[in-house]
Amino acid sequence: MKTPPEDHDLIRWLDDEMTAAERTAFEARLAADPVLKAEAEEMRQISLSVRSHLPKEMPVPHPDFFNSQIQVRIEQMELEDRRASARPAAAGSIFSSLWMRLLAPVAAIAMVAVGWMTLRTSTASGSVVVSVYAPDPKVQATAVENVDAQATVLLLEGLEAMPADQNVAGLTVHHAETDSQLATTTLYDGAGQVLLVMGKDARNQPLIFSHGSPRG
């Protein structure tokens, strides 16, 4: 089994951070230790493979994409830190640490290349907001996981308040039917009565018909 100093040397060797003398000495150790040599070669191949499969360019989905994703990532890292501090260290953590440190540069490259589009955490058992974007620059969208509420919360700051005299009508929709030719969705209540008809205008904006007249 490798010791932590060997882990450190292996990472530095893989990252080409050793001096010439250190590299010569480490490669002599590799030659004398077939197990260490095999593991070093395996890690080097994985690292090269991951790098070679990363796209060089990806289109940015919208102008504020990076800012919004950085904010999401910060929230996720804070949550992961809180979780990590709340649970005891697992057996084999030295090995896990090695892999995390080894793959960190690769992960960083991947994050930049794809614009943090793959933020989902494999350990998450709850819902996860992968990306979020508010088109209105006055609106700031932030996603947080609320462990106490067992929910993911999407906070929208800067929204204009609903006028107090506006009636916010609620519907109890029992079922909906879509019409492929008319491109409409009709919503029904439990008695089979039409609540409203939903469609889109030529600009792809939603159109709602209720009381026989369009809204929006």
Does position 93 interact with other proteins (CB under 8 A)? The reply is no
What is the β-pairing status of strands 151-157 and 175-179? unpaired
Does position 151 interact with other proteins (CB under 8 A)? The reply is yes
Does position 215 interact with other proteins (CB under 8 A)? The reply is yes
Site string for other proteins, 185-214 (x = CB under 8 A): xxx-x---xxxxxxxxxxxxxxxxxxxx-x
Among 59, 135, 137, 190, binds other proteins (CB under 8 A): 135
Tell me if 76 sits within 8 A of 116, measured CB to CB.
Answer: no
Instruction: Return the closest-CA partner of residue 76 out of 149, 133, 152, 140.
Output: 152
Does position 184 interact with other proteins (CB under 8 A)? The reply is yes
Q: What is the footprint of other proteins within residues 161-180 (CB under 8 A)?
A: 161-162, 164, 166, 168-173, 175-176, 178-180
Location of structure tokens 């709340």: 86
Q: What values do phi and psi take at 5, rounded to 5?
A: -60, -35
Q: What is the footprint of other proteins within residues 1-30 (CB under 8 A)?
A: none
Q: What values do phi and psi take at 77, rounded to 5?
A: -65, -40
* Residue 8 Cβ vs other proteins, minimum distance, rounded to whole Å: 33
